[in-house]
Structure 1
Amino acid sequence: MTDNRYPDFGVLLVDDEPSYLRSLSIALERAGITHLQRCEDPRRVMEILAREPIGLVTLDLTMPHLSGEALLARIVEEHPDVGVIVISGMNQVETAVDCIKNGAFDYFVKTDEQRRLIEGIKRAIRLQELKLENQALRQRFLDDTLEHPEAFAPIITADKGMRAVFQYLESVAPSRQPLLICGESGVGKELVARAVHRLSGRPGPLVSVNVAGLDDNVFADTLFGHQRGAFTGADQARAGMIEQAAEGTLFLDEIGDLSLASQVKLLRLLQEGEYYPLGSDRPKRLNARIVVATHRDLHAKQQAGDFRKDLYYRLRTHQVLIPPLRRRKPDLPLLLDHFLAEAAEELGKAVPSYPPELPVLLANYDFPGNIRELRAMAFDAMSLHRSRMLSMEAFKRAIEQGGGQAPAAEARERPVFAPDAPLPTLHEVADLLVGEAMRRAEGNQSLAARLLGISQPALSKRLKRRRQGDGDPL
């Protein structure tokens, strides 16, 4: 059975006043902090810390038998990973400074506004979560292990960069903080979101919403739901996607296309942890983990004023970038085999063999549509397949239609000549270009000629001249 208390570690409330412990517990539970333990006797604190997975302690300073200052010193010395928030009945600046110097995370006075104290405890919990996630991530990188490789089984890859992404996702999956998944269209961001949901162990469902093109009213109704009579045509109440994703994960795709008005609503949801269905004046708690994805450059959008800076920083508490397929060329044969087998099963055909030149052809294409584009190519080729050997014509046609060019910004940034070296001669450039084309085509003249944009006879003639020592340019 999954334990759905928040946070994953316990929060120990220490105070010799039972009434104060009771009121603080109620306030914290209303704020969604439910993994609580209470202790009225400071002499039992160290025993509890040794026995229970406590991550944060709120500590009263003035208590019988053992003072808060002495207890703080023992906690810092024996349990340095446990955060401590001091709550005192006296507003003494010198005492507060001493507590912070001695290792306390924060200091509050009991007469302070309770909302300020709750926000301070929330802040301490978030920092503890980040610290634990960083420790887990560091250990995974050192061990180079995946604890739950089965969660990533639908993602076909042998790329080391993707393995590092998986290790990071294992560390942050249990967190309740938002996760931002970035990457070009077609790289498999939704598959990553599904993996994160499986790893989180959350008992609720994964609910996916593509927010691109939703105006503000539709966005609010989709996420928050509405009460009966909230607007014309609202004949009955409807639960929003947030409620449908309760105890699970809400995946918001194409978040970079969200309107500014809707961004305000999403920011308030993340900050307050509650929302109002349309037509209702009673708030509901957010009980789902928020995962968002975009192919947009959110940093550039927020600098241009098209995306709120506060929402951007709230969303990128955890962030992962999925590399494009052109940077995962070793994955091409794996993906090709997978998609051909998938297409063959769907079309009721036997899985064909393919020419050894096909992976070489694909490796020299930039795949602007990424994995989605490769899948479409494989299915198109299988639909036309008749003989035992798969034809390359469908792939060649798709590559010609795609243009085979890298994204313009990336092509502009790619250095061609070293700025501090002399330019090569035209003869030298021609020889270097032919040599590189033959290397990329793995010696196949037909593919090399296609890469150079010339006919195969012209390339053959050029190669013959090179062998004879003639350096005429192409």
Structure 2
Amino acid sequence: MKKILIYDHDRTFCLRLAEWVDKNKFEVRYSDDHKVARKLIANGLFDIIVIYVSCLLCDGMRLATDILDLRPTTPVLCALDKDDNALLIRLIQKGATDYIDKRFINRKNFNLLVSRIVPDKESREELYEYQGTQYRECISKAKMFAPLIAPLTIFGESGVGKSVIARRIFNDSHIFNKVFVSAKCSLMDVASAPEQLVGTGSRKSPGLFEQAFNGTLFFDEIGDMPLAAQAILSHAIEDGVYYPVGLSNPVRFNARIITSSSKD
């Protein structure tokens, strides 16, 4: 059974999310104590963690940062109760998977989001049936590419579900039990983008390449990736190695690359 951790000082909100989650698929834990939450995460692997990052009482932002450093491959879903684009950009650059707005979230949207982030066979089929005919045809076509190890680019207009297609390809691949790391290229800072990819050679600051080792690395809107980072990515794909900041010896690169783009 998959595990989900909900971190918030608002017990009512925790209980509401816990009630929404399918008890046959998830074991739910929740906490409002930073030390307790860190201990839970250290002692047991969670498939997804929901953190109320706007909470000053339980210092959700600090926990989110700690978790993204401690377990960079674990999906972190950030909960907010106000518009804060600067905070969202910081969290997504750090490695957060997605976010929810506590003011507007409902059962259907929450479960659909969770099923996309932590899919299983049943939830994948539910999502598949939910979509229209054209979308299902696209999914069927994507299955043909799932067994391949070659880099793949998904073209389509913004908002049509390219990230969902990428997840589907990953779920149907032979490495579905490995990690899936997603990065939004439009949020990459020009100066720090190369370091985001290769890391610093320190376990405390792994880059996206290291986080996705043996798994799948998805770049959303690859055309928005800074040129310096594009050059590093191209070199890693072609030569199979990269150089973390501060290290002179090459590090092996081994991740399936999927990208999306709304531009030619």
TM-score relative to the length of structure 2: 0.49
Larger CA Rg, structure 1 vs 2: 1
More strand by share: 2
TM-score by length of 1: 0.28
Q: Relative contact order (alpha carbons < 8 A, sep ≥ 6): 1 or 2 greater?
A: 2
